[in-house]
Amino acid sequence: MGDRFILIAGRTARQGVALNRTKLGGEYVEETSTVYIAPEDADRLAVADGETVRLVSEHGEVTVCCRRARKDELAPGTLFLPYGDCSSRLMGPDTQGTGMPDSKGIDVILQRLSSG
């Protein structure tokens, strides 16, 4: 099963620096394959920092590394995933004429792949 969250995708400074080096490099791929979770949610679900989780939306699913966000960086019930291949797989195809699919407020299920 899993727990429901609202996913927000966006850019990070680390992602921007890594992108200027190479989009295929390890630092960029690592950053865009890491979902950030509010510390309260990580504690409630006993999700360890660095644990692999699956995110499932109505449009797709991805397996990513889970890291704690800094305190007060994310509201409980919210996840953040940097733009990239993983976030794109969870977004729908509709762009409302903008050329960019909705990347904020995506309903997802977080599934733990291990129990610690």
Give pLDDT, residue 51.
Answer: 96
The CATH number that domain 3-112 falls under is 2.40.40.20
Cβ contacts of 19 within 8 Å, gap of 6 or more: 28
Q: How far apart are CA 76 and CA 72, in angstroms?
A: 9
> Residues 46-96: pLDDT tens digits?
999 999 999 999 999 999 999 999 998 999 999 999 988 888 889 866 656
Backbone angles phi, psi at 86, to 5 degrees: -65, -50
pTM for this model (two decimals): 0.82
Q: How far apart are CA 108 and CA 55, in angstroms?
A: 6
Confidence of residue 116 (pLDDT cuts 50, 70, 90): very low
Percentage of the residues of the chain whose pLDDT score is greater than 70: 75
Q: How far apart are CA 23 and CA 94, in angstroms?
A: 25
Domain boundaries, the chain: 3-112
